[in-house]
């Protein structure tokens, strides 16, 4: 199967490689000519056979809007655009409506896997009409982890990104719990080996998880996280999750508190935020702020 892929950064580049390893043809475009297969979006579209499938993997907001608008002018009826970035679900609805006027399909795909996706596969939460989703099934199969799990057609347009948004909200709360526990263990004098306490939890406990494994990785690299500033960004989905909870009158005290904790990290050198920053760097390659 052929696929056009726009955006070859940390995730997009690895996704291109994983899809190619599954035997599919991927033509990638990126503003960085060193990693791009073509020189322009127009050339990418020209090299694809109809009906075309073009996956957009660029930052949410203006960047995605610009690419979708340009694709709307370049593609033809019967083609399909997939937005695999972290767009807000309300943007998906607008994009789908605008492209539908031109006979172009639209699918939104929430993608989780970070810098480990090439090796482990990507969890995919997909939204869109069944006819468009079914056509893309070979690509989804190539990207997902091996086995029966890791992929879902979550519902209509917007459902994929809404599901990924909630996923990231849960992620916020889980990381915050690990960070709070780590700070408390570091604070008391009786616990002399906090890193090994975390390591001991990796087997046989109810709180074992991949995030816990990554926390141990981070502590192996910097046992007391002394090289990090206690500062953690929020990527947008946490805010959107809280806003959606307000709109739907759903109480989310843990997720909301974890978002506010990140805001607090911008006021001082928070020990908890050192762990949050370390975890975000471990699973997603997100930048961390080092101490001077």
Confidence (pLDDT) at 256: 95
Q: Which regions of the chain are under pLDDT 50?
A: none
CA proximity to 18, closest of 121, 138, 112, 148: 121
Confidence (pLDDT) at 18: 97
Confidence (pLDDT) at 141: 97
- The model's pTM is 0.88
Confidence (pLDDT) at 115: 84
CA proximity to 24, closest of 142, 149, 153, 190: 142
Q: Are 152 and 163 in contact (CB under 8 A)?
A: yes
Confidence (pLDDT) at 262: 87
Confidence (pLDDT) at 292: 65
Radius of gyration of the chain (CA): 20
Question: Which alpha helices (DSSP H) does the chain contain, by range?
Answer: 10-21, 41-47, 62-74, 89-100, 117-120, 130-135, 137-143, 159-187, 194-200, 210-221, 237-247, 253-264, 271-284
How far apart are alpha carbons 191 and 218 in whole angstroms? Answer: 19
Hey, which residues are catalytic here?
164, 171
How far apart are alpha carbons 231 and 103 in whole angstroms? Answer: 46
Confidence (pLDDT) at 285: 81
């Amino acid at each position: 199967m052929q696929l056009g892929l726009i955006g070859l950064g940390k995730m997009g580049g690895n996704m291109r490689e994983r899809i190619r390893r599954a035997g599919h043809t991927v033509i990638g475009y990126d503003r960085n000519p060193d990693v791009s297969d073509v020189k322009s979006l127009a050339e990418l579209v020209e090299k694809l056979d109809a009906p075309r499938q073009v996956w957009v993997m660029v930052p949410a907001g203006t960047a995605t809007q610009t690419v979708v608008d340009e694709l709307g002018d370049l593609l033809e009826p019967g083609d399909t655009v997939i937005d695999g970035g972290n767009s807000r679900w309300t943007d998906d609805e607008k994009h789908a409506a605008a492209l539908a006027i031109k006979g172009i399909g639209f699918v939104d795909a929430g993608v989780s896997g970070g810098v480990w996706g090439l090796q482990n596969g990507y969890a995919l939460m997909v939204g869109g009409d069944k006819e468009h989703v079914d056509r893309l099934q070979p690509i989804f199969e190539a990207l997902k982890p091996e086995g029966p799990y890791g992929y879902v057609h979550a519902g209509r347009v917007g459902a994929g990104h809404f599901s990924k948004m909630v996923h990231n909200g849960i992620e916020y709360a889980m990381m915050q719990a690990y960070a709070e526990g780590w700070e408390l263990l570091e604070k008391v004098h009786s616990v002399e080996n906090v890193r090994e306490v975390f390591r001991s939890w990796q087997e046989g406990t109810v709180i074992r998880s991949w995030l816990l494994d990554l926390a141990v990785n981070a502590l192996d690299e910097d046992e007391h996280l002394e090289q990090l500033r206690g500062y953690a960004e929020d990527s947008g989905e946490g805010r959107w999750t809280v806003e959606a909870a307000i709109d739907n009158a759903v109480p989310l005290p843990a997720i909301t508190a974890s978002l506010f904790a990140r805001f607090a990290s911008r006021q001082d050198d928070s020990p908890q935020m050192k762990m949050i920053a370390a975890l975000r760097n471990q699973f997603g390659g997100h930048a961390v702020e080092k101490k001077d």
